[in-house]
């Protein structure tokens, strides 16, 4: 392993075996795995610690992802505080249909808000495992990735000076809007899919109105209800792509949610102040391979999965486990197999989850497409879930990410 120059701002370039760009779930999980094996690394993050510990996003974690965190000593708070979800509910044609995946499979989801997971991971990395992390860095650039002496440079927010960090590997974990994906050569294949629809993503200061996730399939558009905590609930409303959140007043949001999620035997939703309101254009992409020279992409930097099936954070953690373990094996024992198989090992699960998201998108959006044919096939898919045990088992397996092999 190359020795580390520990002190920053010495005037000359610093050196770390690994520089991780981005402190989201992927980057922080990689950093923690490296530090647990006493491998030095530097995490660079453009935002402040307070910001990343509060940024609301995902909440649904699959059992294998929680197990992976547990095995790496990263899930103590999560296991103590997460809610267990065992069922979901589809509402369509004015009726509610309960889908108990725990009864079918014995497996459940964990619900733990992403800001809490990020808070746990930063604390463990920086405060417990002694990892180096720099927040608020500006204008991050990656250099010489196709050599065995890559480097990363950034502008230090305190001094305004450009700092250079030399390393053996760069982990590109800087999400969908980062810089590392842009460093790929033209030969990298980026496959994109645009769903042609938008979702208004909402967080309401209101307790959940149902004891499980609800998917509302309605001619006005999809609506989703997902508990985040006893006080906060995430809602989604299908809207035109590129719609302006200001088009959605408090009254309009709640009236559409009440209408799209209504079904026989259900009461009105508990309304509350909207603390997040933004439009997500539903699109996905996959970068292949996820490696270029000494740059290894992980998480949303490598593949975006529209939040249709709540898969993105799970995939980010899957990549991080494979990458962290592979880097440790290489840097401590010279074993190359993990790094060689990294991209392929990630992409099998990535493509499987992409396919499931595409399938589910049609279920959510077919009815509101205005196309009677698509509406008909949507209802056929939904009916099949509740009449065919084989279809139900296949759905549960994909929804939970429990296939025996990917
Ligand atoms: C509304 C919404 C709901 C979602 N719900 C779910 C869900 O229920 N389940 C699920 O599994 N997934 C869900 N997702 C997806 C999930 O949030 C992402 O897939 C996940 O955050 C990806 O983690 P990441 O570490 O790859 O990237 P990110 O979390 O995006 O982290 C990247 C980090 O890099 C930083 N960064 C960016 N540019 C730079 C740069 N140039 N230099 C240094 N740092 C940089 C960013 O500030 C950020 O901290 C949801 C997403 C959204 C938007």
Which of 30, 31, 58, 225 to mutate for ligand 1's pocket (most ligand atoms within 8 Å of CB)? 58
Ligand 1 centre distance from Cα of residue 48 (Å)? 15
Ligand 1 centre to CA of 24 (Å) is 6
Q: What residue ranges line ligand 1, CB within 6 angstroms?
A: 21-27, 44-47, 52, 57-60, 114, 140, 173-175, 177-179, 201, 280, 299-300, 307, 310-314, 316
C-alpha–C-alpha distance, residues 305 and 125, integer Å? 27
Alpha carbon of 392 to ligand 1 centroid (Å)? 30
Q: If you take atom 4 of ligand 1, which residue's CA is the nearest one?
A: 58
| Residue-level pLDDT at 6 | 40
From 47, 53, 175, 238, give the residue whose CB has the most ligand 1 atoms within 8 Å, as the site to mutate.
175
Name every residue whose Cβ is closer than 8 Å to that of residue 400 and which is 6 or more positions away in sequence: 62, 63, 101, 105, 107, 108, 109
Q: φ and ψ at 281, to 5 degrees? A: -80, 125
Distance 229 CA to ligand 1 centre (A): 20
**Paired residues of 92 in beta bridges:** 95, 217
Output the CA 170–ligand 1 centroid distance in Å.
18
Ligand 1 center–CA 395 separation, angstroms = 26
User: From the alpha carbon of 154, which atom of ligand 1 is closest?
Assistant: 42
Give me the pLDDT at residue 7, please.
41
pLDDT value, residue 4: 36
For ligand 1, atom 30, name the residue with the nearest CA.
175
Q: What is the pLDDT of residue 56?
A: 87
| Residue 214 φ/ψ, nearest 5 degrees | -125, 130
Tokens for 161, please give them: 């000076």
- Cis previous bond, 289, omega within 30: yes
- Distance from residue 233's CA to the centre of ligand 1 (Å): 19
User: According to the model, what pLDDT value does residue 11 have?
Assistant: 60
User: Alpha-carbon distance 279 to 240, whole Å?
Assistant: 9
- Give tens-digit pLDDT for 63-109: 999 999 999 999 999 999 999 999 999 999 999 999 999 999 999 99
Report, as ranges of residue numbers, the positions in the chain whose pLDDT lies below 70. 1-11
Ligand 1 atom nearest the C-alpha of 179 is 41
pLDDT at 304: 97
Task: Identify the structural domains of the chain with CATH numbers, from first to last.
Answer: 14-56+114-190+285-354 (3.50.50.60), 77-112+195-283+369-400 (3.30.9.10)
């Amino acid at each position: 392993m190359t020795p580390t120059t520990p002190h920053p701002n010495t005037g000359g370039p610093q050196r770390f075996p690994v520089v991780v760009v981005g402190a989201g779930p992927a980057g922080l999980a990689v950093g923690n795995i490296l530090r647990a094996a006493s491998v030095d690394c530097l995490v660079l993050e453009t935002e402040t610690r307070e910001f990343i510990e509060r940024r609301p996003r995902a909440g649904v974690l699959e059992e294998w992802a929680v197990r992976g965190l547990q095995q790496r000593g990263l899930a103590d708070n999560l296991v103590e505080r997460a809610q267990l979800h065992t069922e979901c509910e589809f509402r369509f044609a004015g009726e509610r249909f309960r889908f108990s995946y725990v009864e079918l499979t014995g497996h459940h989801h964990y619900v733990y808000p992403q800001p809490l997971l990020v808070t746990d991971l930063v604390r463990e990395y920086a405060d417990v495992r002694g990892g180096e992390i720099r927040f608020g860095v500006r204008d991050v650039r990656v250099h010489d990735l196709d050599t065995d002496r890559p480097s990363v440079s950034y502008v230090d927010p305190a001094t305004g000076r450009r700092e250079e960090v030399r390393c053996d590997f760069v982990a590109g974990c800087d999400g969908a809007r980062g810089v590392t994906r842009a460093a790929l050569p033209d030969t990298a294949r980026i496959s994109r899919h645009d769903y042609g629809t938008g979702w208004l993503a909402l967080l309401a200061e209101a307790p959940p109105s149902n004891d499980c996730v609800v998917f509302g399939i309605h001619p006005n558009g999809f609506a989703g209800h997902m508990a985040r905590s006893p006080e906060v609930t995430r809602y989604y409303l299908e809207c035109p792509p590129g719609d302006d959140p200001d088009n959605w007043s408090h009254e309009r949001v709640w009236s559409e949610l009440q209408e799209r999620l209504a079904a026989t035997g259900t009461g009105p939703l508990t309304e509350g102040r909207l603390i997040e309101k933004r439009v997500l254009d539903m699109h996905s992409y996959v970068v292949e391979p996820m490696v270029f020279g000494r740059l290894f992409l992980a998480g949303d930097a490598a593949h975006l999965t529209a939040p249709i099936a709540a898969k993105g954070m799970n995939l980010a953690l899957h990549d991080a486990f494979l990458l962290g373990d592979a880097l440790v094996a290489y840097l401590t024992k010279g074993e190359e197999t993990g790094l060689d198989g990294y991209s392929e090992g990630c992409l099998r699960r990535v493509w499987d989850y992409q396919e499931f998201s595409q399938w589910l998108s049609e279920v959510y959006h077919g009815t509101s497409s205005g196309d009677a044919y698509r509406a008909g096939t949507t209802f056929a898919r939904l009916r099949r879930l509740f009449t065919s045990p084989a279809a139900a088992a296949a759905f549960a397996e994909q929804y939970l990410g429990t296939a025996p092999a990917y």
